Amino acid sequence: MRTPVVLITGALTGIGRATALAFARDGARVVVSGRREVEGKALEAELRGLGAEAEFIKADVRHD
């Protein structure tokens, strides 16, 4: 069986963060993105601490 891969934008706070943590706990590979490098790397480490494969990508997906 394949491991699902999820990409979550706006993952550093609120619903995005909760979603990332939930997918990590369920065994998914998680790619999170957000605008703040320090917080993103911290979340990546937290997800890996749960046993998930995780990666942070700094990105701003807002539309001005």
DSSP calls for 6-29: EEETTTTSHHHHHHHHHHHHTT-E
Query: What 3-state DSSP class applies to 58?
Result: strand
User: What range does the domain containing 32 cover?
Assistant: 5-58
**Helix or strand holding residue 42 (H, E):** helix 37-49
Tell whether the model's pLDDT for residue 1 goes beyond 80.
Answer: no
Number of domains in the chain: 1
pLDDT confidence of residue 24? 98
Rounded to the nearest 5°, which phi and psi values hold at 50?
-85, 0
Provide the pLDDT confidence category of residue 12 given band limits of 50, 70 and 90. Answer: very high
Among 27, 36, 26, 31, smallest CA distance to 8 is for 31
Tell me the pLDDT tens digit for each residue of 26-60: 999 999 999 999 999 999 999 999 999 999 999 99
pLDDT of 64 strictly over 80: no
Decide if 63 is inside a domain.
Answer: no
Look at 14 and 62; give whichever has higher pLDDT. 14
What global pTM score does this model have? Answer: 0.92
Residue 18 lies in a domain: yes
